[in-house]
Chain A
Amino acid sequence: MTEETTIHLPAIEKHVEHLRKGFDFWPTLENGTPPAMGDFRWPAELILSTWYQAGTGEPPTNGLEYRIGDSGGGFDKLDFRFLPEHQQLPPETEIDLAIPLNRRGIGREIEIAVPWYGGGMSFGSVSEQVMLARAIAAKEWGTFTSTGEGGYPDSLVKYKDHIITQIATGMFGVREETIQYAPVVEFKYAQGAKPGLGGHLLGDKTTITVAKMRESVPWVSLFSPFPFHSVYSVEDHRKHVDWVKTINPEALVSVKVSTPTDVDMVAVGSYYAGAHIVHLDGSYGGTGAAPEIAKKNIAMPIEFAIPKVHKYLQGENIRDEIVVMASGGIRTAYDIAKSIALGADGAILGTSELVAIGCTRCSNCERGRGCPFGLTTTDPELSLLVEPEWGAQRIGNLNASYAKQLRDILRRLGLKSIHDLRGRTDLLVYRR
Chain B
Amino acid sequence: MTKHPESHGGYQRYFIETELTPDIVPWPNRFLVKVNRFQLAKLLISEIIHYRGDLKAITSRPCMYGVFSGPIGGFAPRPQHCVGCLRCTTQHPETVTILHNPERERLGDSYFTSNYINAVTYEAETGSIPVKGAGYPGKFGGEGWDGMWTDMSEIVRPTRDGIHGREFISTVVDIGEKPSFLVFDEDGEITSPQPRILSIPVPFIYDVPPKSAESEGLYEILATAAEQTQTLSIVPVANYKLKAAGRRLPGENIVPLVKLGAESHLEGLGFTPKMIEIEVADAPTSNIRHLISTIQSQFPDTIIAVRIPFGSPDALLQLYESGVRVFHLVADFHGRGTDGRFVMDLIREAHLAFVDEGTRDEVTLIGSGGIIAAEHVPKAIITGLDLVALDTPLLVALQTQFEGDCTDREGSRFNTPANIPLQWGVQRLKNLTATWRDQLLEILGAMGLREVRRLRGEMGRALFQVDLELEAFAEIEGYVSK
Interface string of B452-482 (1 = CB under 8 A from A): 0000000011010100110111011111100
Q: Is B153 an interface residue (CB 8 A)?
A: yes
* B residues less than 8 Å from A97 (CB atoms): none
Please state if B91 and A292 are interface contacts (CB–CB under 8 Å): no
Please state if A197 and B445 are interface contacts (CB–CB under 8 Å): yes
* A36-B86, A291-B131, A362-B84 known; A430-B477 Cβ under 8 A: yes
Q: Is B443 an interface residue (CB 8 A)?
A: yes
* B residues less than 8 Å from A40 (CB atoms): 137-140
Please state if B469 and A304 are interface contacts (CB–CB under 8 Å): yes
The CA-CA distance from A298 to B97 in the complex, in Å, is 36
* A residues less than 8 Å from B83 (CB atoms): 362, 364, 367
Interface string of A67-80 (1 = CB under 8 A from B): 00001111011100
Residue of B nearest to A26 (CB): B93
Q: Is A296 an interface residue (CB 8 A)?
A: yes
Give chain A nearest CB distance to B421 CB in angstroms. 29
Q: Is B129 an interface residue (CB 8 A)?
A: yes
* B residues less than 8 Å from A300 (CB atoms): 149, 463, 468
Q: Tell me which of A37, A261, A430 contacts B86 (CB under 8 A).
A: A37
Q: Tell me which of B60, B134, B151, B442 contacts A286 (CB under 8 A).
A: B134
Please state if B134 and A365 are interface contacts (CB–CB under 8 Å): yes
The CA-CA distance from A266 to B468 in the complex, in Å, is 17
* A35-B100, A298-B443 known; A41-B133 Cβ under 8 A: no
Please state if B471 and A308 are interface contacts (CB–CB under 8 Å): yes
The CA-CA distance from A373 to B87 in the complex, in Å, is 7
Please state if B140 and A73 are interface contacts (CB–CB under 8 Å): yes
Please state if B476 and A429 are interface contacts (CB–CB under 8 Å): yes
Number of A-B contacts (CB under 8 A): 278
* A258-B152, A369-B64 known; A291-B471 Cβ under 8 A: no
* A residues less than 8 Å from B134 (CB atoms): 286-287, 351, 359, 361-363, 365
Stretch in contact with the other chain, from B50-58, B169-177, B204-212: B50-58
Please state if B446 and A225 are interface contacts (CB–CB under 8 Å): no
Residue of B nearest to A23 (CB): B90
Q: Is A390 an interface residue (CB 8 A)?
A: no
The CA-CA distance from A193 to B119 in the complex, in Å, is 18
* A residues less than 8 Å from B80 (CB atoms): none
Stretch in contact with the other chain, from A52-60, A143-151, A174-182, A230-238: A230-238
Give chain A nearest CB distance to B310 CB in angstroms. 23
Please state if A298 and B152 are interface contacts (CB–CB under 8 Å): yes
Interface string of B84-101 (1 = CB under 8 A from A): 111101111110011110
* B residues less than 8 Å from A227 (CB atoms): 153-157
Q: Tell me which of A14, A39, A225, A328 contacts B138 (CB under 8 A).
A: A39
Give chain B nearest CB distance to A32 CB in angstroms. 10
* A residues less than 8 Å from B151 (CB atoms): 260-261, 298-299
* A residues less than 8 Å from B98 (CB atoms): 34-36
* B residues less than 8 Å from A260 (CB atoms): 151-154
The CA-CA distance from A11 to B470 in the complex, in Å, is 55
Please state if A36 and B130 are interface contacts (CB–CB under 8 Å): no
Main secondary structure of the interface of A (DSSP, over half): loop
Give chain A nearest CB distance to B293 CB in angstroms. 43
Q: Is B141 an interface residue (CB 8 A)?
A: yes
* A residues less than 8 Å from B154 (CB atoms): 189-190, 227, 257-258, 260, 262-263, 266
Give chain B nearest CB distance to A193 CB in angstroms. 6
Please state if A233 and B155 are interface contacts (CB–CB under 8 Å): yes
Interface string of A130-172 (1 = CB under 8 A from B): 0000000000000000000000000000000000000000000
Residue of B nearest to A21 (CB): B91
Please state if B136 and A226 are interface contacts (CB–CB under 8 Å): no
Give chain A nearest CB distance to B181 CB in angstroms. 34
Q: Is B236 an interface residue (CB 8 A)?
A: no
Q: Is B334 an interface residue (CB 8 A)?
A: no
Give chain A nearest CB distance to B98 CB in angstroms. 5
Please state if A304 and B475 are interface contacts (CB–CB under 8 Å): no
Please state if A228 and B155 are interface contacts (CB–CB under 8 Å): yes
Interface string of A222-255 (1 = CB under 8 A from B): 0101111001110011000000000000000000
Q: Is A31 an interface residue (CB 8 A)?
A: yes
Q: Is A376 an interface residue (CB 8 A)?
A: yes
Please state if B92 and A22 are interface contacts (CB–CB under 8 Å): yes
Residue of B nearest to A37 (CB): B86
* B residues less than 8 Å from A284 (CB atoms): 135-136, 140
The CA-CA distance from A284 to B135 in the complex, in Å, is 6
The CA-CA distance from A373 to B146 in the complex, in Å, is 32
* Residues of B near any A CB (own CB < 8 A): 31, 47, 51, 54, 56-57, 60, 62-65, 83-87, 89-94, 97-100, 119, 129-142, 146, 149-157, 160, 164, 374-375, 379, 439, 442-443, 445-448, 460-461, 463, 465, 468-469, 471-473, 475-480
**Interchain Cβ contacts under 8 Å between A and B, 17 examples:** A14-B57, A19-B91, A71-B140, A81-B477, A196-B447, A228-B155, A261-B463, A292-B119, A293-B129, A298-B443, A299-B463, A300-B463, A304-B469, A367-B133, A371-B133, A372-B64, A425-B473
